Amino acid sequence: MFIVGLVILIVGLMISVALHELGHMLPAKKFGALVPEYWIGFGPTVWKTKKGDTTYGLKALPLGGYVRILGMYFPNGNGRKTKADGSLTLAEMARQQSGAELDDAARRGQSGKPFYRLSTPQKLVVMAGGPVMNLLIAVVLIAIVVMGIGFNAPSTNIAEVRNAEDGTASPAVTAGIEAGDQIVQWDGRPVESWEVLTEAIQATDGPVDVVAIREGSPVNLVVEPQLREDGTRYVGIVSAVERQRGTPANVAENVWIQVSATGRAIVALPVSLFDLVKSLFTGEERDSSGVISVVGVARLAGDIAGAPTAVDSDSTAGTGIPGGMSFLDRAALMLSLLAALNVALFAFNLIPLPPLDGGHVAGALWGGARNVGAKVTGKPRPAPADTARMVPLAYGVFAVLMVMTVILVVADLVKPITFA
């Protein structure tokens, strides 16, 4: 079953990447840009086909993908072209390669706009399309979990009635509340959730009328919560934990929680990586809520799929998942893991640094600002923004990402995060 979890994760990741790249390709083609290649994965080619001017293919390593859009850089940018020794700068090499690709496409009779000739709104749609697609995938997966599968949560059904903490009859016992009752009304107000009920109990001062459903019929009770020394109120009831389905509002709340948490994790990433490296050398406990690599995600997926079922909870030792899991719990966790992965792809790709999508978004915004500035001041429309100047930065960012990946992979192999 561990292998099944890995396969599910790989397939889910490939679908997420494929849709991400579609988010770039479809609007690019719609706006008339030249898109010669669409690939899922890296490394040796496993399969490919050509339709129109675009080659579609699958590569051996399913850890990413890319869409090649011609004319990403303005060939005639006026930035620095040579170094002190006379060799070409990285920016100029990118400009010349962009121009050569466009010339080659023209010789083969392919017609279309280079990316740098798209309008600013079109560039934004093309480059943000990939991350937005990941966000939409996450929303769909979270909706399936919250509204379809549901989640285990305390309900208004009573699982147990307990005595007071000093051993005397609790308010629940005195009032006649029984295990199996469902509290539907408290002090004249409807009770829709355990959270609403606990808030109503804490706000109660004196005896109140309570309505419970018992064996299908309403029962009228009078309950007076007991005031504790710490100021809280005690009734003596224990909620039955049941699978509950949420609403679209719960989906939106869950999405916002995940996106905001991922954003905070990205901001804190330098500190998190420093603490992670320190924990590897000092033996300190690793932060279980910290960032993980795709290796860590794969391990979690394997743990979920390989966990014993709820009826076989004695065999949970060493799995990191206590008590066993039902099929629905397993499905919910796996879909939630894929949703979290897509939220991470959404947020991380929008960081405004090349070679990430956010870097191209920033370049498009800079070019648009220049156009607006020229229009406002009455000057001629400027040439397309020379975004090739950001290529050296892209190499630096790529190197940092590789170092970060190595650190996370090593940590996930040496000191993995589990469901323990």
Give strand pairing partners of 186. Answer: 189, 210
Strand partners, 58: 40, 47
**Cα 3 off chain centre by:** 23
Least Cα distance to 15 among 342, 409, 405 occurs for: 342
Residue reference for tokens 């280079």: 114
Helix (H, G, I), strand (E, B) or coil at 114: coil
Q: What are the CA-CA distances from residue 8 to residues 297, 310, 316 (Å)? A: 12, 21, 22
Measured between alpha carbons, how far is 82 from 142 in angstroms, rounded to an integer?
A: 51
* CA count, 13 A, side-chain hemisphere, 126: 31
**Cα–Cα distance measured from residue 75 to residue 123, given in angstroms and rounded to the nearest whole number:** 17
| Tally of residues, the chain | 420
Q: Residue holding tokens 């991380």?
A: 348
Give the torsion sign (CA, 235, 241, 247, 253). Answer: positive
| Catalytic member of 21, 37, 178, 195 | 21
Planar angle of CA 326, 327, 333, nearest 5 degrees: 90
The reply to whether 195 belongs to the active site is no
Which residues are designated catalytic?
21
